[in-house]
Structure 1
Amino acid sequence: MIDFLVGGGVFAVIAVIPLVGAAVCAALIGVRFARHHYLSREARLVEILPPPQASLAHATAFWNHTMGLLKPRWSRWLVQPHLALEIVASPAGVRFQVWVPGIVPPGTVERAIASAWPGATTSTHAVAAGESPLPQGAYTTGGLVRVGRGEEFPLRTKFDDDPLRPLLGALEDLEEGEHCLVRISARPATGLRLARARQAAARRQGHPGLGTMLLDAVDPTVSASTQRRVPVLPGTGDDVRAILTKASSPRLACDIAYILTTTHQGDAAKERLRGRAHGVGSSFAAFTSGTNHLDRRFMLAPTWWASNRFLGNGFLLCTAELAGIAHLPTDTCVPGLARAGARPTAPSPAVPRGGENARVVGDSDAGVRRPVALGVAEARQHTHILGKTGSGKSTLLANLVLQDAEAGRAGLVIDPRGDLVTDILARMPEHAVDKVVLFDPDDNAPPPRLNLLQGGDADFVSDTVVGIFRRIYDQYWGPRTDDILRAATLTLTRAKDPGLTLGHIPRLLADDALRQEVMGKVTARTGEDEALEDFWDWYSGLTMSARSAVTGPVLNKLRTALLRPWVRQVVASGPSSVDLPTLFDTGHLVLLRLPKGRLGEDTSSLIGSFALAATWQAVTARIHTSEAQRKDLCAYIDESQNFLNLPGSLEDMLAEARGYRLGLTLAHQELGQLPADLRKAVSANARTKVYFSASPDDAASLQQHTLPVLGAYDLTNLGAYQAVVRPLVGAKEQGAATVRTRPLPPGVTGRATQVRKAARRHAPETAAQPPARGVSPSPGRPLFQQRPFTVTDTRRGKRT
């Protein structure tokens, strides 16, 4: 050995040491790049839409959660995954995303984000290895950010405002073609590296380090003299406390980089981009504390850094420091930043998923995707559907009706626009084709007849007709109009003649002979009615001009509807051609297509209200049937504010309807459409709520039904065909949940025509025959264009 050293072996060893060192360094670098390549396989990008409100505490919770990525001790030396939070800015706006290595189980980071930032939504897609979030540019620049002092010293963690505000401000007003990427990479740190902070604190307190103790073992005098020459400086205690405070928190190895690119060429574009990069790098000065700060460093090959989420040794940050740098904005207003919509919320496990006795509303958009259904029995306690135009109400209604048709359940649909019934007809199940009754003014065939004055309690019918007219024409209603219409309807109804209709009211008021004939029928069937006779005696004593004055307002309102041939055929052409109680008991669907553009708003409201009144008469007739034998019936009423015109309290009606197994599904656009009493009744008695996107004013009121799970912000930021459902299960109202309603199934070619042809059997076969001379209208003639009739002025003895 001595001969080897003397013979020049020393110089050979010295020459080999650099080569060995270079080989070791190359091997380490190779291992790191191999790890990076391994982590990049099947990697994912999780794009985050921030919630309306966020705080640094939320970010701290997220980065604490990432400590769960720490692999077992025996496998850490092979590979330890890291995450990269990226802020990507362009002229289109700013977005936040997290790069996730392929070895991290799917859903882990997404759930961590959802739990750390309540209300945030995520979308995940695969990203190829080496895929850059920035487009290829003509010029690219960037920089690295490192701690200015030792990594054991803490950065600033207390802020009055959002610490990202300077950075986001530097990213505003990007020109077309300019893009910026800020990336913060982090992975859990362990082992000896964490212990160095405590060792640094000990050295600052004057305690000997490992080197000092080794030197002391060799020569204690040298060590002692050295310690005497190292004084403890003022402020060292503060430094030690700061180091130990940071050391007591979970820490991560971090790296910060920013890259900017532009597609423009030329010196001007390059200088502008360099100035922008200077502003981005300078924004990290916001994290300067009394003990440490962040420095900008030169970046070699920025294009490579943009394409590779590489993390070397990095520098240590505790979770509070990292949360200050890498978090979702806490400012409520950030230009160009898209916010999350409603908070996705999973339904209660008690909510049914479907089945024979449930109607599926949609699918949950939080947690495990599952159907969300409403029980048929719970529907008897009514459903309130509210949402803006185009939010998805009609699609939901059509799906619910089609499910009833498939299950053979009876239903009533009132559609004031026309599209709802059209969609239902095109998708009607084949076995339900023969169970449809259709009222449609655009159908060439005669419509079914629905004589509201036929059958039922005369007083109830009269109250219903008068109440409907009074609610629709509330601004033009007076006591005399009420008096005339009530007496006329009572007279026609008490005559118990199925051929008498609303169309006879004008002739009843004008033709003395007809009036006497009808009153004779009333007397024959019910005995003398002094109140009615006194009224008609008073009426007969009026002059012609006085009669015109008192009947004009009544006839004006009747003409609004009855001058339309289709309306006249439905309500004023003779006895009813459909038996609603039987139809509902046998699972038929009664569809009323009442487009306001075709009939007029008042006429559409009038016919829809008549149909609802007839339905109410049909279900109240079930009082003589045991509750177990009553069939479920659901009335779907779109633009419901136009048709809830029945007399009496809606609150009482909703309460009674449950016993008759009638469930009302009331849909409309905004709360302001409902009168105060109606709004209160719907709020209290429609126990299942389905809310699509609502206005801010409505959301402030509706959130009383969805809190504490979902608030006003969620109700105003629902997406298209996304709804909040607060279901009733059993007798208990469950917590609110968000769902995605299902699109309509594709229409069946020719099905609508098939249904229309089958429904025509409910139309009257022939025109109604007059039950008695002068009572019914002549076939084929309008009610207001009958043959001349004689009117006697009893005061002047004239005949006209």
Structure 2
Amino acid sequence: MLILLRSSSDNTRGPVHAESLLRNLHRIIRRRHPLTLRIQSIDGEVGLGIECTDELSSVVIRQLRDAYPGLQTDFAASDHPSEDSSTWSLELHRVADVLPIRTYPSFLDDPERELADPITALLAAVRTGRAGKMRCVIETAIRPATQNRQRQSRRILEKLGRRFPSEEWRRRYLRLACDRRLIVRLAGRAIGLMSRKQSVQRTPADAFPETLYECHFVVHCTAPKGVEVIAKRRLLEIAAAFGQFTQGEATIVHEGVTTRSRRLPRRGSLMTPDQLATVWHPPTMTASSVSRLRKSAFKELEPPVWLPSKETERGVTTLGRVAFREQRTQFGIRTADLRRHVFVAGQTGSGKSTFLQNIVMQQIEQDRGVVLIDPHGQLVEELLDHIPRRRTNDVILFDASDDQFPISFNPLRGPPGSDPTLVADGVTTAFKKVFGFDEATAPRLLHIFRNCLLTLVGRPEATLISVQRLLADVNYRKTMTSHVDNPAVKEFWRAEFNRWSDRDRTQYVASLQNKLGAFTSNRRLQLILGSTEKGIDLRTVLDRSQILLCNLSKGTVGNEASTLLGSLLLSSLQLAAMSRANVPEAERPDASVIVDEFHSFLSEGNSTMADALAESRKYRTSYVLATQLLEQLDRATLAGVLGNCGTTMCMTVGPRDAEVLAELMGNGLTPADLMRVPRYHAYIRLLVDGTAHTFSMTTPPPAKYRQHRGEVIRRLSRERYGSSKTEAQSVVDRQYGE
């Protein structure tokens, strides 16, 4: 079985951990079934591999992952050359293998004390073209050395410590005594008889290691027929890369190139675990400069021992599956933790919409109330075909582009018992986003607008369109102000507005009328915001666990209209949730508000979302918020979101966002990790019983369509909550006094 390895690009664990791994494997590898360490270039990618028996594979993988936590493994079939290609092989062996070669401590950069990774040269040597027509592999078959071989090596070291007639005779003895051929070794023994014991030992035999491997090195090059010269040159280049391990008389040499596959020789080259680890180990950060190196694009983080799951608990919302080694356990979030809200960050195309779709579907299947605000419209349209038949009557499809049967939404009609000031402030905050100014830039305009709203809030016949009429129609203004019981508002109209000269009043009011006119003249917005018939009651949606799907597609209703409607909905939702204070907490049904690209509906300094996250938990209203860029949020809103969302999920993000989120997520994640998350993968900081845990996960795939029921749901929603275009227009005309 061939196991392919992918190490993380920020791997700091070098040969020392591979040495420990090889010491552990020494006890379980059998001589009849050696383990093969590979450095290879296959299909244009350079990487490491291990070939072993099926029985040994699980142990090897477990040991590898314990030594290198960020390592990923894949199984592959053993590679065989195609019929139109040939394989050339070059065998290497150690000369004087009882002496140590150069090992990893000698590759440390003295000033920086960083490892100049020795495997870099071998990886670069086997690298081939992107087309993958040529494949190069360094195979090192390892098996434990026999006791007899170790005794022979110990005797050779003892002899080397004696006196020889000359240094040349000593080198000749070393070379012959370590040769792989028996007849040559016998000649070496004869030379060893010339040594004398009275010399001081140069290499003490008691320092000889007890853990030894016999290794067989072979380099293969597979290429199309007819390129023999190029293939042989590549083999010699790879063999030359082993020259970096030469130390004194200990070196690695090669034999002739052959096209015949050789059997594993009975006598291999001796290597200690530290020597073998120097030649083969997962690349460190310093080796990441090798182009086309096989790396793990996604760092896997271990999850907590126990996670909530639908299989073991009721009311759990499934978020995805664990992505750690072989673990693919499905997990979710409890309702109590969902009330602490979920924040999802990820660039377009990372899988956010699919994740949100699965969240919405589960809330619907669990008979909970759901509000989905979608600025693109695609998510809402896809969900229509997933609504269970039993929940058809609960759906309110608020399609802002539907001008044939518009559904009205009157933000001035707050929940029963709501504070008119809060209603007016919510509407004012929403308009700040689309007006593009604040208290500092247009204080008088906002002052007039706020007093207009306070005058109209609570009047059943009043809508946002009534603001224009309130400013322009004296008789209408007298009628509406006669019902005002707020002394400050009365004082505004009596002592301030009416005392302005006609010129000043015209000047002050004109600016507000121009701003409002850009929206009230929009025919679609007129039909939605100007009607008092039927429409959306957000308090009812929350209390009766209804399903409100808001299609605010910017492509059909325009960017500013979509932004205004979304902002008004968020403000009104907060008021509706807070108005449930008159119901005992245990009797408040749970509802979830899912907002895609929620930054679109918030202006700078808009505290709507931060306030909603801080207050809504006690009212059993959960928020799931998604955005592409943190930069699209002002500091106060970002702090409120990150501080109040108990669960944070991070898909692929940009460099600036990665720095912020890496610090929040913790568990060793770096900004680089968050910038290369594959699609439908994520890192999650999951709240479990009030404690956050960060680990890696995969999100559920897109749901399969159950049945095409979108048109049925659209028709029923129009009948229950919408009005015909003619009816809506007549109501709007009455708002203008016609």
Interval of TM-score (by shorter of Structure 1 and Structure 2): 0.7 to 0.9
Q: 1:284 to 1:103 in 2, by over 3 A?
A: same
2:431 aligned with 1:469? yes
Q: Deviations over 1:283-306 (max 9, x none)?
A: 11111112411011124334x36x
Output aligned runs, 1:7-22, within 5 Å.
none
* 1:166 alignment partner AA: A
* 1:604 alignment partner AA: S
Match of 2:715 in 1: 757
On the 8 A contact 1:385/1:691 being kept in 2, the answer is yes
Shift of 1:122: 1.3
Output aligned runs, 1:541-552, within 5 Å.
541-542=499-500, 545-552=503-510
Which of residues 144, 163, 170 in structure 1 aligns to 2:125?
A: 170
Q: Deviations over 1:294-327 (max 9, x none)?
A: 011124334x36xx8x575422211111111112
Shift of 1:416: 0.6
State the structure with more CA Rg: 1
Match of 2:695 in 1: 737
Which of residues 468, 471, 479 in structure 2 aligns to 1:517?
A: 479
Q: Deviations over 1:595-639 (max 9, x none)?
A: 112222222121111111221111111111111111111111111
Match of 1:296 in 2: 254
Match of 2:89 in 1: 142
* 1:165 alignment partner AA: T
Shift of 1:237: 3.7
* Residues in 1 aligned to 2:302 and 2:265: alpha-carbon distance in whole angstroms: 37
Match of 1:498 in 2: 460
Match of 2:300 in 1: 344
2:405 aligned with 1:435? no
* Residues in 2 aligned to 1:589 and 1:491: alpha-carbon distance in whole angstroms: 32
Match of 1:74 in 2: none
Shift of 1:545: 5.0
* Residues in 1 aligned to 2:348 and 2:48: alpha-carbon distance in whole angstroms: 31
Shift of 1:47: 1.4
* Residues in 2 aligned to 1:102 and 1:350: alpha-carbon distance in whole angstroms: 30
Shift of 1:380: 0.8
Which of residues 555, 576, 583 in structure 2 aligns to 1:618?
A: 576
On the 8 A contact 1:388/1:670 being kept in 2, the answer is yes
* Residues in 1 aligned to 2:192 and 2:557: alpha-carbon distance in whole angstroms: 101
On the 8 A contact 1:82/1:100 being kept in 2, the answer is yes
Match of 2:179 in 1: none
2:45 aligned with 1:100? no
Q: Deviations over 1:67-111 (max 9, x none)?
A: 24235xxxxxxx64222222222672323222122332x532222
Paired residue secondary structure (1:603): helix
Q: 1:246 to 1:444 in 2, by over 3 A?
A: farther
Paired residue secondary structure (2:333): strand
Q: Deviations over 1:551-587 (max 9, x none)?
A: 3332333233333333222222115533322222222
Match of 2:157 in 1: 201
2:71 aligned with 1:120? yes
Q: 1:633 to 1:530 in 2, by over 3 A?
A: closer
* Residues in 2 aligned to 1:272 and 1:114: alpha-carbon distance in whole angstroms: 38
Paired residue secondary structure (2:393): helix
Deviation larger for 635-644 or 753-762: 753-762
Which of residues 421, 439, 449 in structure 2 aligns to 1:485?
A: 449
Paired residue secondary structure (1:145): strand
* Residues in 1 aligned to 2:715 and 2:207: alpha-carbon distance in whole angstroms: 82
Paired residue secondary structure (1:454): coil
Paired residue secondary structure (1:384): strand
* Residues in 2 aligned to 1:557 and 1:68: alpha-carbon distance in whole angstroms: 80
Shift of 1:397: 0.5
Deviation larger for 504-513 or 164-173: 164-173
* 1:189 alignment partner AA: A
* Residues in 2 aligned to 1:276 and 1:237: alpha-carbon distance in whole angstroms: 42
Q: Deviations over 1:478-498 (max 9, x none)?
A: 1122112111101111xx321
Q: 1:757 to 1:382 in 2, by over 3 A?
A: same
Q: 1:623 to 1:311 in 2, by over 3 A?
A: farther
* 1:49 alignment partner AA: R
Paired residue secondary structure (2:93): strand
Match of 1:792 in 2: none
* Residues in 1 aligned to 2:198 and 2:361: alpha-carbon distance in whole angstroms: 83
* Residues in 2 aligned to 1:782 and 1:95: alpha-carbon distance in whole angstroms: 75
Shift of 1:262: 2.7
Which of residues 145, 151, 156 in structure 2 aligns to 1:189?
A: 145
Deviation larger for 161-170 or 513-522: 161-170
Match of 1:404 in 2: 363
Q: How many pairs were matched up? A: 689
Shift of 1:56: 1.5
Match of 2:592 in 1: 634
On the 8 A contact 1:347/1:372 being kept in 2, the answer is no
* Residues in 1 aligned to 2:590 and 2:475: alpha-carbon distance in whole angstroms: 46
So what's the TM-score if we normalise by structure 2?
0.87
**What is the aligned-residue RMSD (CA, Å)?**
2.9
On the 8 A contact 1:383/1:686 being kept in 2, the answer is yes
Q: 1:731 to 1:198 in 2, by over 3 A?
A: same
* Residues in 2 aligned to 1:647 and 1:575: alpha-carbon distance in whole angstroms: 30
Output aligned runs, 1:20-59, within 5 Å.
44-52=1-9, 53-54=11-12, 55-59=14-18
Deviation larger for 724-733 or 198-207: 198-207
Match of 1:358 in 2: 316
On the 8 A contact 2:159/2:192 being kept in 1, the answer is no
Which of residues 244, 261, 264 in structure 1 aligns to 2:222?
A: 261
Match of 1:219 in 2: none
* Residues in 2 aligned to 1:577 and 1:719: alpha-carbon distance in whole angstroms: 42
Q: Deviations over 1:634-677 (max 9, x none)?
A: 11111111224596475443221111111111110122111111
Match of 2:538 in 1: 580
* 1:586 alignment partner AA: R
Match of 2:167 in 1: none
Which of residues 167, 174, 195 in structure 2 aligns to 1:230?
A: 195
* Residues in 1 aligned to 2:273 and 2:722: alpha-carbon distance in whole angstroms: 79
So what's the TM-score if we normalise by structure 1?
0.80
Which of residues 92, 100, 117 in structure 2 aligns to 1:154?
A: 100
* Residues in 1 aligned to 2:192 and 2:244: alpha-carbon distance in whole angstroms: 38
* 1:107 alignment partner AA: S
Match of 2:41 in 1: 89
Q: 1:328 to 1:451 in 2, by over 3 A?
A: same
On the 8 A contact 1:51/1:118 being kept in 2, the answer is no
Q: 1:233 to 1:358 in 2, by over 3 A?
A: farther
* Residues in 2 aligned to 1:608 and 1:440: alpha-carbon distance in whole angstroms: 12
Match of 1:318 in 2: 272
Paired residue secondary structure (1:260): strand
Q: 1:68 to 1:691 in 2, by over 3 A?
A: farther
Shift of 1:738: 1.0
On the 8 A contact 1:182/1:259 being kept in 2, the answer is yes
Deviation larger for 738-747 or 405-414: 738-747
2:650 aligned with 1:723? no
Q: Deviations over 1:512-556 (max 9, x none)?
A: 11101111222xxx2x73543443553345455544432333233
Deviation larger for 505-514 or 709-718: 709-718
Which of residues 567, 571, 575 in structure 1 aligns to 2:525?
A: 567
* 2:615 alignment partner AA: E
On the 8 A contact 2:374/2:596 being kept in 1, the answer is yes
Match of 1:603 in 2: 561
% identical aligned pairs: 25
Output aligned runs, 1:373-412, within 5 Å.
373-412=332-371
* Residues in 1 aligned to 2:565 and 2:5: alpha-carbon distance in whole angstroms: 50
* Residues in 2 aligned to 1:311 and 1:720: alpha-carbon distance in whole angstroms: 47
Paired residue secondary structure (2:54): coil
Q: 1:68 to 1:412 in 2, by over 3 A?
A: farther
